[in-house]
Every structure is written in structure tokens, then in C-alpha cells.
Structure 1
Amino acid sequence: MRSTTPARRLLAGAAVLPLALALAACGASEAADPPSSDSTATSGATDDATVTTDSDAAATGTVTIEDNHGQLEVPVNPERVVALDNHVFSTLSAWDVELVAAPKPIMGTGIWPEYTENEAVLDVGSHREPNLESIIAATPDLVIGGYRFQESYDSIVSQNPDAVVVEAHPREGEEISDELKRQIEILGQIFDREDEAAEIVADYDDAVTAASDAYNGTDTVVGLITSGGEIAYSAPVTGRSLGMLFPTLDLQPAIEQAAEDTSHGDDISVEAIAAAAPEWIIVLDRDGSGVGEGEYTSAQELISGSAALADVPAVAKDQVIYLDPNFYLTEDIQAYTALFQQIADAFGAKAE
């Protein structure tokens, strides 16, 4: 188990807590009025007090989790939270978790305004030019790192000895569905929202089932990424964002070429796509999230405006699925849930 300074402090506090509660209870008993002769009323009051105490203890103690580095003790419902992993912002926002610092340049505009437009939330900058001093200045109890910031992990740990640093982003080489669910379950433990986390996982599983049931099992599919006015290829299994759709839904790939660039997609010509003649095209518009440079050309313009792709079955039959433009920034379990439902609706509509 990884040892952390705040964890030891919290555990020590937890050991003293029972004695403090006992002394407080004695004082309260001496000052209180004599107990009622109504045994039912007395029993009810005692039960209520016990429930309240248990709830408070569960919400303010520590929990043992296993992140990408091993086991560690994490405070439950920490007061000062820094979040760096784009996978967690939607969940933290839905759970009304306040942040003291976040990487605003890579969070887009209008997705999480309570964080990006709040001057009280310090700006950590982008992963390419991180301002790690902002994390120190925020004096966090918890830092949710990882994903784009995983190269800064050692620095963040050493610079913030009074904080617990957690990395639970999807790990390379692991099954993405399991990793997305694992991450949300860890967040549920930390923020005492395990029931809500279970609901999010259930919604994800339902969307996967719906998409799988709607797929006819034979139509060929290709995943594409557009950026900078160019079309790139997202390989099955390992390709950025879209690769995991193939093993998860057992899709038949129109092109079976291994990924060379798992982050931004591989070069491919429109002629090669046309030759593969996919029945379906699923497209991630990377620049649609506002991260691109120069003049923006949408994925729809690039695909529908290509003469070479005009006769491709997917284009001719209007069987092109465009992801939410913000998908590249979020890539969380909620975004994948929406994508699988979008795929289910598209497959289902064509099957009717």
C-alpha cells in the first residue's frame, strides 16, 4: 500500500474519534433532561441518533482504493479538490464537487462553466505547458491526476506532500469498458456516491447492449478522425476513441490495418477508404471541440464534400455517424454512453 502523509494523519484522527465521541456523549447525558418513561419514544430517538452518527462517519472518514499505482487511503468527500483528468469533470460537475484548480485550456468552453469560468478555480494550464505551481497554491487535499497529465505525476506527488494524488484513468492495454467503469466506481467511493456511480455504470451497460443488439453483425464499419482539414484512420481496438467500439460491439472492420498513431489517427487516403467500401463510417471531429489551429473544416464538410467518397455505401446511404464535437475533450463514461446510444439509434433506424 502506498503511504501518504495525509492518510496517516486522517487515520490517527480516526483512532481518537471514538474516545472524543464517548466523552461528548457523557457530557450530553449529564446535561440532558431525565429520559422519558415512554420507551417507544426513547427507542426511536436513539435509533435516529445512531443513523445520523453512522452517516456522518461514512461521509468524513477515509476509504481504501486501488488506483493505477496501487492501494492508498483517500479522504472521503475531501474539501479541496484539484482535478486534471478530463474523464472526471462531467461526474464531478453532476455531483456538485467544487474544484480549487483545474487545467482550463483543455476543458473547452461552455462544457463545465462552473470550473472554467470561475476565477476562484486556479488554472493549471495545459499538459504541454503545465503550471504545477497553481496546484501547490491551491493547497489540495486530493489531486485527481492522470490521463494527459500522467507525465507530471511524480512532480505533483513530490510538490504536494499534504495531498493524496490519485490516478485512475483508463490504463493502456486494458479493456476500455472495464476501465471506464472502474474509474467511476473509484470516484463513487471517494465522494460517497457509490449508488450514483452504479447508476452511471448501468446506463453505460444498457447503451452498449442496445448498440450491440441493433447491429446486424455483417455491415462493415470504419472509424475516422478529422483534424486540420485532413481525414485520418482510427484502427480497430487500439485506434483513438473509436478503436474500442469494434471489440465491444463485435463490429466488422472495413479496413484491418494496425494503428501506428493511437492518439491522433493514421494517415489514409480517401481513395483507400473508397476502395474499402464501408457500410458505416463513424467519425470523431477532433477540431470540433475547438482544439484545432487555423481555419476549421467540419468532418461533415470533409466527408460529404469529397467526390472520391460520394459512392461509398456509408455516404450514399447516409450511414455516417458523427460524434458529439466535444467528445475529444470529454472521452468519459458519459460520452461513451451517449455514443453507444447514438450508434444504437442509427443502426436501429436503418434496420426498420
Structure 2
Amino acid sequence: MAKIRHTLTALVAGAALVLTGCSSDGEGSGSSTSAAADGSATESTAAESVTVEDNEGEKTIEKPIESVAVLDNRSFEILDQWDVPITVAARKLVPSTLPDLKNDESILDVGNHKEPDLEQIVAGDPQLIVSGQRFQKYDEQIEQMNPQATLVEFEPREDKPLDEELTRHVENLGKIFDKEDEAQKLVDDFNKALQRAKDAYDGESTVMAVNVSGGDIGYVAPHVGRTYGPLFDLIGFKPALQIEHASSDHKGDDISVEAIADSNPDFMLVLDRDAAISSGEGSKPAKTVIEESTPLEGVTAVKDGHVYYAPEDTYTNENIITYTEILNGIADQLEAAQK
């Protein structure tokens, strides 16, 4: 794209020189020269910025982008895959599956969302700040501290389908960083995985989603629950159990293991929160917790081995790449059950 722009500019500039030379031969050529110059200026201006619409409205980012601060969990893996240079990051929140980014001490570290060092963003003097998820609550403060920067935030909106929101996120990042083809590839992969999971589901088998944290099993509600909730809508899963006042709590809703067992799901979807964060006292791998739970021994999903465990970094890496992996993993489980 840059090569094309430079070629166009050179052609326009060349045309301007020819017209300038002709101006001494007759009147009226001066106006043509002026028009060519104006056209060149317009082309140059268009090439020096990009406008996107985030959760707050239209945002214009000046180019080239020479310094970027990234605070959004969903964006780390995408930008790392695209080799986008990062000046400042919430490195303590970077998934452990991205060690080169997480451990790069040349990148100023904002820390985590609980006690962030927002002055590190100021020190990095970013032109662009990619915020979202855990850092949303600091957006206004960050913008006040960095008036020279444009802050964008594409956190999935609660009243919109998750597939559309994940697509919106990656497509806008692609537009900002001139990676539109790469973004489209991620969208295509996601849509294929979603369709595969839909095709593999029989429409009747009951499904239960849970979150394991600190050795405890929490209930992940359809529609609103962490990570898996929206998949009930996207795939059309039949819930094994529904409760009143369900939430999106990061540990899942408090419900007895016996109640989960009584619902006897045909399939279980498991999120291991501890695998993605520093393990604390009492934490165990989700697989161990599920398989060693006496109340769950007789559950159809456990007996038949129809339990899907999300990638270990999911809790801190819920982007379109992660969801593509989850959907393909679920499809594997569903397809295997049909054989």
C-alpha cells in the first residue's frame, strides 16, 4: 500500500513539474498547476492518518505510528502475531504463551490493572493507546495524562453478538496497523471454526460450562457467563441447567457440585482460571478437579470423556484466535461423540 501511495505521489509531482514548465508558454496553465498541487496535498493528507470507530465514536490516528501502548488482553497475541512494535504494555497481563513479549524488558511495563503504573504510559509518549477489558476503567484518566495520544477501545459490547464484536476488534486493528489481509484471515478462520461447531452439534445433547478456580468449580451461565456463555447462543447449545440471577463473575457463579451433577450434562466445557494466572494456595489443574470430584463421577459427560478444557491461557487471552481454537476443540469433541 505504501509503495502505491509513493508511486501516485511521484506521478502527481511529475505532472506538476510538466505543467509548471508549460506555464511560460501561455496563460491558464497556472490554474492547472495549482489543481495538481492541491490534488497531491489531498492524497498526502489521506495517507497520513486512519479513522476508525471504537466504543466511544470516531477516532483518527496520525501515521506513521511510531509508539504504541497496549493494555488490552485481547490485543496482545494479535499484535504479536503481526510483529507490531510495542513501546508500553501491561506486561504482567500478557499471556504466558507469549514469553518474548511478556519478558521483553525494553517494553515499559504498566503492571496489572489492580495497581497500574500509569506514569509508564506517559514515559513511553505513545501516539496510540490500545485499551480494553481490565483497563477500561482507567481510560478517562489515561487520556487526560496523555493528551498527545489517541486511545482506542474495542471491548465487546454486552448488547452485541460476540462473533460480531470479535470481528470488529480484529478488523479495526488491521485497519490501524495496515494488516487488513491478516485480519481477514483471522476472521475467516474463526467463522469456519464456528460453522464447524454448529454442524457438529446434534441440537439435543445438554451442555454445562464451568470455571475452576482455587480448586472450586463455579457455574458458567449461558449467554452471560465468562468465555463460554456466548457460545450457547452462537452454537445453539441446550443448557443442562439454568439458574436465576446468573452473572459473568470471573470465578463463575456459586453453585453446589451436587446441583451440577444432578443436571447430568452430556457435554461439559471447562475453563481453568488458575492455569492462566499465578496459582495460589489450594489451586489444582481443572482436569484434576473435575476427574477427582466424587459427585461428578456418574455424570454422563465425565463417564464418556465428553469434557472439553479450554486452552490454559484463555482467561487472559480471550481474543478471536483463542475462540477459534476453542470452537475447533469443541467441534472435535462433538464429532468424536457421533462416531
TM range (shorter): 0.7 to 0.9
Task: Tell me the TM-score normalised to structure 1 length.
Answer: 0.83
Contact 2:224 2:247 in 1 (8 A): no
Q: Percent of pairs identical after alignment?
A: 39
Q: Which residue in 1 is equivalent to 2:99?
A: 113
Structure 1: which amino acid aligns with 2:182?
Answer: E
Distance of 1:168 and 1:68 partners within structure 2: 6
Distance of 1:229 and 1:64 partners within structure 2: 46
Pair 58,343 (structure 1): closer, same or farther in 2 beyond 3 Å: farther
Structure 1: which amino acid aligns with 2:303?
Answer: A
Determine if the alignment matches structure 1 residue 197 to structure 2 residue 187: no
| C-alpha deviation, 1:57, in angstroms | 6.1
The partner residue of 1:87 within 50, 54, 74 is 74
Contact 1:59 1:192 in 2 (8 A): no
Contact 2:221 2:248 in 1 (8 A): no
The partner residue of 1:177 within 163, 166, 173 is 163
Distance of 1:279 and 1:161 partners within structure 2: 53
Structure 1: which amino acid aligns with 2:205?
Answer: D
Q: Which runs of 5+ in 2 are unaligned?
A: 1-8, 22-39
The partner residue of 1:166 within 144, 152, 162 is 152
Q: Which residue in 1 is equivalent to 2:269?
A: 282
Aligned length: 309
| C-alpha deviation, 1:108, in angstroms | 3.6
Q: Which residue in 2 is equivalent to 1:270?
A: 257
Structure 2: which amino acid aligns with 1:116?
Answer: K
Determine if the alignment matches structure 1 residue 223 to structure 2 residue 209: yes
Q: Which residue in 2 is equivalent to 1:253?
A: 239
Distance of 2:14 and 2:115 partners within structure 1: 52
RMSD: 2.4
The partner residue of 1:129 within 89, 104, 115 is 115
The partner residue of 2:197 within 211, 214, 219 is 211
Contact 1:76 1:191 in 2 (8 A): no
Task: Tell me the TM-score normalised to structure 2 length.
Answer: 0.86
Distance of 2:223 and 2:288 partners within structure 1: 27
Pair 215,133 (structure 1): closer, same or farther in 2 beyond 3 Å: same
Q: Which residue in 2 is equivalent to 1:40?
A: none
The partner residue of 1:139 within 125, 129, 136 is 125
| C-alpha deviation, 1:77, in angstroms | 5.1
Distance of 1:182 and 1:269 partners within structure 2: 37
Q: Which residue in 2 is equivalent to 1:308?
A: 295
| C-alpha deviation, 1:244, in angstroms | 0.7
Pair 287,93 (structure 1): closer, same or farther in 2 beyond 3 Å: same
Pair 77,302 (structure 1): closer, same or farther in 2 beyond 3 Å: farther
Contact 1:289 1:328 in 2 (8 A): yes
Pair 261,132 (structure 1): closer, same or farther in 2 beyond 3 Å: same
Structure 2: which amino acid aligns with 1:279?
Answer: D
Q: Which residue in 2 is equivalent to 1:48?
A: none
Q: Which runs of 5+ in 1 are unaligned?
A: 1-17, 31-52
Determine if the alignment matches structure 1 residue 65 to structure 2 residue 65: no
Deviations 1:51-94 (A, max 9, x none): xx9xx969952111100000121235511111000101111011
Distance of 1:24 and 1:97 partners within structure 2: 36
| C-alpha deviation, 1:26, in angstroms | 4.1
The partner residue of 1:322 within 309, 314, 320 is 309
Distance of 2:327 and 2:293 partners within structure 1: 27
Distance of 1:219 and 1:143 partners within structure 2: 44
